Structure 1
Amino acid sequence: MAGSQVLSRLPQPGDLRRALFEWARSDGVTWVYIAKVLTAALLTLWLAMRLELPQPSTATITVFIVMQPQSGQVFAKSFYRILGSIIGLTVMVALIAVFAQERVLFLLVVALWVGACTAGAARYRDFRSYACVLAGYTATLIGLPATLHPEAAFMSAVWRVLEISLGILCSMLVSAVVLPQTSSAAMRNALYQRFGAFAWYVLDNLGGGQRQRFEAANVNFVSQAVGLETLRSVTAFEDPHMRMRSGRLARLNNEFMVLTTRYHALHQLLERLRTQGGDRVLAALEPCLDELREMLLPWKSKALTDVDAALLAEQLEARRLRLMQRIRDAREELRGKVQDVSERLDFNTGAELLYRLVADLHDYALTHASLTEQRHERENWKFGFSPKANLVGALVSGTRTALMVLLFGVFWIETSWPSGSTFVLNAAAVAALVSAAPNPSKMATQMAVGTFFAAILGFFETYFVFPHLDGFPMLCLAVAPVFAFGAFLSLRPGYAGYGLGLLVFFSFGSVPANMTLYDAGRTLNEYLALVLSQSAAAVMAAVILPPTSAWLWRRLEKDLRMRVVQAISGKSDGLVATFESGTRDLLNQAYGVAAGRPDVQRGLLRWMFLVLEVGHAIIELRNEQDKLPLEACYAESAPWRKAIRSMGRALIRLFVQPGEANRERALAAVELAIATTKATEEPCAPDFESSPLRRVVSYLHFIRTTLLDPQSPLRDASQGKASHVA
């Protein structure tokens, strides 16, 4: 008996297998990545030495920069690295040919070029940013040393291209062959899990829920939308099957954003009814909400595969008809009980939002189900997701870097410091690399600390270890621990800067060249220049208009408000896609630069909610007007359409300059538009389904309730309070 109890406590084969799989999905991924980084770096180093390239360190550094956990990311980053390098080298060779005899003028032109590239790197929030970084960094890498020997500039550029290409090829080969982690698999998994999370989110908050969890879920969906767009763009480099579905994947991401916006509008309306005593309207809507619960309950927190999506689409089609009948029955019942016009408007608005939500769910399921086919008509989607940072913030980053190159370059010229070119080019490189980070000063400081330890380790290995080694295998044993530790740090979000500084600048200063010169004084000078340049870059990023300060928060808040202006006056073609993606990308940026300031983040989140509510209602109004039949009552000159245009101007004024007077003016314009539209007679039946103007009134009423919401950030602005903390 005792023996059987002992045996029962021993790990079973199934337990060991599950533990192994769990390790493989967590820590195992980290160790596989470290092994791949080591393999790619050492293979590149061996080939660079065998091919007698002048600077094997450049090829090795390329590996550390482009290597990513997923192969699609490696392919995308490699493509943009070689593209940026070629552009930078071409520009710099041309500049050397023109300004080789004028060092000061050459330095001024280089500073302008690097500043423009840094501004581009800060502006674009995808892999195009990396191409801009390399276009500027490679230019300084070739251009500044070439001021001393301009006759060698062309050959230096050719060698750099060969060294970078070798690092890229080895990285791509190892990433694709050695236990590949594909971006397409990561994207499929994210798509499958996302709908279950959305179903949980709806069911958890439909009856009220906790405000904190509701906001956290919205922020998570925002980051998912931006992250999935990045995954979609990199899978095109990796998987031809995903490339054939790229349009549908972009469409699916946009439809999911529309889903979350629609549900948020419905949730906000229900919350206002709960706080303002709309019990009769809530009771009338409850059977309709039960229908939505029944639709989503089977999918709560469950994965939705492409095959499951086809089944869901069939279910939604049948339930949508049943929901329509429930809405009609509830409307008739409410009409007999309630005489208050405002309550009827509340019901019609809620019913319209609910019905549109189910229609959006159906469209999402159809698009998801279409992924099973190689070609499908839903692939025809031309509206992409182009994440861009604030233009003023990007120009500030570019100006800061240009001033840095110019200032440090003058210091180099005046002092004739032997390692001055290293000082200038690495300051420019670090400034460009950290320009897209939410906190450039913190990132640059981490890189400086990593470089400091790289200097200690590099000097020790160069002068106390390398002289005693014999053969390439022993060299691998000497550098592998540093490479492995740096790769481990680079995977940790809070320590990525330390890892990048250690890997890149240990290689820069200590990886042996094919013709190595041992000069301790020069080595110390180079490492001193590296540490000082990065420290100076961190100081300048912290002093000259840092993006973590209040000026950028205010700019991002204004950019969020201006999304409403775009919804009112932008082109109709693709307006939903650009509005949804742009608004979410702005919030994603804002959360990054306001890290550590939850009060600021909450204020920006409130503005995003308001912008989505009002902006989406305006877009629906525009769509309704675009679909109107050719009747006299729907003409452009009709009083109700003039009133809506007047309302649009009032809303533009409100969101450009929030204040109580502008809010009251906008509210009066909305109420006039409601009254004018309700007074317009239509030739069609006055039923909600057949009357375009009844639907127009419902969206106008939703805008009105939003402007009256006591929790709106417009109230803070009206009372003279800042919605963010300076």
Structure 2
Amino acid sequence: MLLTKQILAFRPNKMDWIFATKTFLAGMLALYVAFSLNLAYPIWAVGTVFVIANPYSGMTSSKSLYRVLGTLLGAIVSIVVTPALINTPWIFTFFLAFWVGFCLYISLLDRTPRSYICMLAGYTTVIISYNIVYNIDTSSVFDMAIGRFLEITVGVVCSAIVTTTIFPMHIGPAVKTRVSKALQDTRELFEKILIDEKELGNYSTALSSIARDIADIHVMAVHLSYEKSTLQGMTKPLQEMLHQLSMLVSNLVSMAERIKQLDQIDMKYRDALKVANEHIIDFLQRDHDISEFKLNALPESFDQDFAAISASATASQQVMLLSLRMDLRHFIQNVRALKLIWQRIQKGDATLPESVAPLTTNYPSLHRDYGMAVRGGISAFIVVVVATGFWILSGWKAGFMLAEMAAISACILTFMDNPVPALKIFIRGNIYAGVFVFLYAYGIFPYVTEFWQLCLVLAPFVMYCLMMFPHPPLTALALPLLMGTIMGLNLQNRYVLDQVFFFDASIGTVIGPIISVYVIHLVRAMSPDITAQRILSLHYKAIRQALYIPYGVNFRIHLRGMLDRIGILNTKVVQSDSLKKNIHLALIESSAVIDLTRIQELMNKMDDQLSIFQSLADLQSYLDDYFRAKELHQAEDELRNTLLNKIQNIQQEAFVLDDINIAQRLQVSLNNIQSSLCHATFDETAQVHLVSA
């Protein structure tokens, strides 16, 4: 009902009209070329235009390339496998089921637009192979596969010609706007955290939003290589800049947590902090053209400002202030590095400053949900076996349509936690499409004798569906409705509509997705709460791993993956209050992970015969046990109490260390661990004074 109300309330704007007109022209051009070349199934040419349609030319171009590559891979597999297995239907079925499941598994692990290649290769093999079986008496395997590849290529080429020549809309300016907004939001949040104590209560919401923006821009940047805009070719440096920005998010969280601790003790330091904040903001805004040789520069009054802050603070606040000072210094340097990288990107310079260690790897260190990928692959395997088995056992000639639609619907929406509601809309779209096919085939097409007439009668329906594409909630129904209608009409040069096949195919296009819905509901579907709980378990595991990673590029790459996971967590609409709290705490925990590796670094500088060295080793072991318990959803209260007691004992032991620098850094890290990793309240922590010379 909600979707119906949205459709009734839909009013297309100017950009919707432009997008729909361009896409419709590209579709009709593809159909005309396919007719002219006398291709067997021109509907695949026009259907390809609609599937890859996107307001941004870069997204259309990239998806076009991925679709061609996926189709080519699927065609090659079908050519190789079909002749060998066509006479053993059950072995053929299990091979295709395994292939679709494997391709979907790989696709779900690759969180970039190129994942479309693998997913498409899986169900394209099924489509070509089953069409070969259906048309075995009239077509060869090679002709069918080549025909499908040519049809897809025609659609891709026609789409590229139209979208890049008629009012092209580049994604580069949109990416530039999103990046500028993320940097602006980060700066504004920094100002609020240091000035407005009320902002500390909801800073995590704003930072979570920034983390989501980083993840979105990371994906959008992939398309920059496929268009001619000011940011063309800047995908890698832009993604590297986003990696560095995610480090800044962690930095902001750490600052906010230290200020919250300071406020709990005494707020007299706030006046001096505001003065320092004004100097920092003025310094960051003053340098518009940053030199690489001055990236580590600080405001001239930085040391004096912090001396004034320390003088106005109590003795028990000095540990937190030392930590805050370190965070502010890193924040200033990171902001300047980001500004320099962004300046270079906008000038077309893809190089990074020498002092900035790149965090990009050949296989991006982003969150990958192997459990979801496995379940998705298994569900696709079962769907193909059940649907194809029904076709084989029933002897229903048009059952191949059921099996094809089952395979397609088993793949297209598995990136969602629970694809079932969206698949139900997909089924509704196919049902409505059957009605439109009937109306066109028997009410309109008998009077159509010229191509221009065909375009004229298709225009109102096709363009209205296309105008809904730029609006994600409406696309869920518009895309299956449009594709179901176009594919169901099966337009050809010698157009003849087989009434029996029409009804059989219409039934198959509905029953196939229904099979997918039931299998996915049983095997694959998960609530956002379950998904969030699983991601949190991976988060706790990553904290344990950080205990043993020395500080350096590898650690920063590991932390980047953790922050990406936090961004995904914050997209989950969970119902459980405890889960909401844990998701909020996960962001805070990530900000203190660096203190785990600092403990290891400080231990390497100590005499291993000291009692404090063994105490720190025991602390690492306790932390490992604590987060393992959280990872496995076991009771951790007793472990947490033991940890807090151990930390407070080590804080006292730090006073006997001869090296004052090590003692102070140790106190800072221990304070951060107990506050941000163990979430100790003010009453649970002993206010230890800073070790002084």
Same fold (TM over 0.5): yes
Instruction: Give the corresponding residue for 1:147.
Output: 133
Match of 2:494 among 491, 515, 533: 515
Instruction: Give the corresponding residue for 1:204.
Output: 192
C-alpha deviation, 1:346, in angstroms: 2.2
Instruction: Give the corresponding residue for 2:623.
Output: 651
Q: Is the 8 A contact 2:59 2:223 kept in 1?
A: yes
Instruction: Give the corresponding residue for 2:36.
Output: 50
Quote the Cα distance in structure 2 between the aligned partners of 1:692 and 1:248. 37
Match of 1:180 among 148, 161, 168: 168
Instruction: Give the corresponding residue for 1:17.
Output: none
C-alpha deviation, 1:319, in angstroms: 4.9
Change (3 A) 1:511 1:480: farther
Which amino acid in the other structure matches residue 224 of structure 2? T
Instruction: Give the corresponding residue for 1:724.
Output: none
Which amino acid in the other structure matches residue 496 of structure 1? T
Change (3 A) 1:619 1:83: farther
Structure 2 residue 243 is matched with structure 1 residue 254: yes
Instruction: Report matched runs for 1:50-199 at 5 Å.
Output: 50-148=36-134, 152-199=140-187
Unaligned runs of 5+ in 2: 1-11, 631-635, 686-693
Which amino acid in the other structure matches residue 139 of structure 1? T
Quote the Cα distance in structure 1 between the aligned partners of 2:382 and 2:158. 36
Instruction: Give the corresponding residue for 2:590.
Output: 612
Which structure features the higher share of helix residues?
A: 1
C-alpha deviation, 1:95, in angstroms: 1.8
Instruction: Give the corresponding residue for 2:384.
Output: 405
Change (3 A) 1:58 1:244: closer
Which amino acid in the other structure matches residue 317 of structure 2? E
Match of 1:234 among 223, 230, 234: 223
Instruction: Report matched runs for 1:497-536 at 5 Å.
Output: 497-536=476-515
Instruction: Give the corresponding residue for 1:37.
Output: 23
Which amino acid in the other structure matches residue 414 of structure 1? L
Could you list the per-position Cα deviations for residues 258-317 of structure 1 after superposition, in whole angstroms to 9, with x for gaps in the alignment? Answer: 11211111112222333x3x11xx433642443224543799xxxx9xx97426999997
Quote the Cα distance in structure 1 between the aligned partners of 2:530 and 2:98. 24
How many residues get paired? 660
Aligned to 1:166, the other structure's residue is in SS state helix
Instruction: Give the corresponding residue for 1:8.
Output: none
Instruction: Give the corresponding residue for 2:679.
Output: 709
Match of 2:409 among 427, 430, 446: 430
Change (3 A) 1:40 1:642: farther
C-alpha deviation, 1:604, in angstroms: 4.6
Quote the Cα distance in structure 2 between the aligned partners of 1:212 and 1:325. 29
Quote the Cα distance in structure 2 between the aligned partners of 1:54 and 1:636. 77
Q: Is the 8 A contact 1:370 1:378 kept in 2?
A: no
Aligned to 1:283, the other structure's residue is in SS state coil
C-alpha deviation, 1:160, in angstroms: 0.8
Change (3 A) 1:661 1:142: same
Change (3 A) 1:646 1:260: same
Could you list the per-position Cα deviations for residues 324-363 of structure 1 after superposition, in whole angstroms to 9, with x for gaps in the alignment? Answer: 33223433x26xx84x5x4321222222222222222222
C-alpha deviation, 1:523, in angstroms: 0.8
Quote the Cα distance in structure 1 between the aligned partners of 2:462 and 2:550. 51
Q: Is the 8 A contact 1:313 1:365 kept in 2?
A: no
Q: Is the 8 A contact 1:389 1:589 kept in 2?
A: no
Quote the Cα distance in structure 1 between the aligned partners of 2:161 and 2:220. 20
Instruction: Give the corresponding residue for 1:352.
Output: 326
| Percentage of identical aligned residues | 18
Q: Is the 8 A contact 1:119 1:397 kept in 2?
A: yes
Which amino acid in the other structure matches residue 638 of structure 2? A
Change (3 A) 1:425 1:373: closer
Quote the Cα distance in structure 2 between the aligned partners of 1:41 and 1:601. 47
Structure 2 residue 358 is matched with structure 1 residue 369: no
C-alpha deviation, 1:554, in angstroms: 2.1
Could you list the per-position Cα deviations for residues 386-433 of structure 1 after superposition, in whole angstroms to 9, with x for gaps in the alignment? Answer: 544411111111111111110111111111112211101111111100
Could you list the per-position Cα deviations for residues 466-506 of structure 1 after superposition, in whole angstroms to 9, with x for gaps in the alignment? Answer: 12012111111111222212222222222221011012211
Quote the Cα distance in structure 2 between the aligned partners of 1:183 and 1:392. 33
Could you list the per-position Cα deviations for residues 546-575 of structure 1 after superposition, in whole angstroms to 9, with x for gaps in the alignment? Answer: 122644332112012222123223475533
Q: TM-score, normalised by structure 2?
A: 0.87
Q: Is the 8 A contact 1:320 1:359 kept in 2?
A: no
Q: Is the 8 A contact 1:453 1:502 kept in 2?
A: yes
Quote the Cα distance in structure 1 between the aligned partners of 2:583 and 2:381. 34
Q: Is the 8 A contact 1:120 1:132 kept in 2?
A: yes
Match of 2:669 among 692, 699, 722: 699
Quote the Cα distance in structure 2 between the aligned partners of 1:197 and 1:139. 46
Structure 2 residue 521 is matched with structure 1 residue 542: yes
Q: Is the 8 A contact 2:212 2:567 kept in 1?
A: yes
Instruction: Report matched runs for 1:412-561 at 5 Å.
Output: 412-548=391-527, 550-561=529-540
Q: Is the 8 A contact 1:563 1:611 kept in 2?
A: no
Change (3 A) 1:163 1:640: farther
C-alpha deviation, 1:90, in angstroms: 1.6
Instruction: Report matched runs for 1:589-604 at 5 Å.
Output: 589-592=568-571, 594-595=572-573, 597=575, 599=577, 602-604=580-582
Aligned to 1:514, the other structure's residue is in SS state coil
Quote the Cα distance in structure 1 between the aligned partners of 2:602 and 2:154. 58
Quote the Cα distance in structure 2 between the aligned partners of 1:325 and 1:422. 76
Quote the Cα distance in structure 1 between the aligned partners of 2:229 and 2:359. 19
Instruction: Give the corresponding residue for 1:328.
Output: 307
Aligned to 1:657, the other structure's residue is in SS state helix
C-alpha deviation, 1:60, in angstroms: 1.4
Structure 2 residue 268 is matched with structure 1 residue 283: yes
Which amino acid in the other structure matches residue 125 of structure 2? A
Aligned to 2:140, the other structure's residue is in SS state helix
Quote the Cα distance in structure 1 between the aligned partners of 2:191 and 2:533. 35
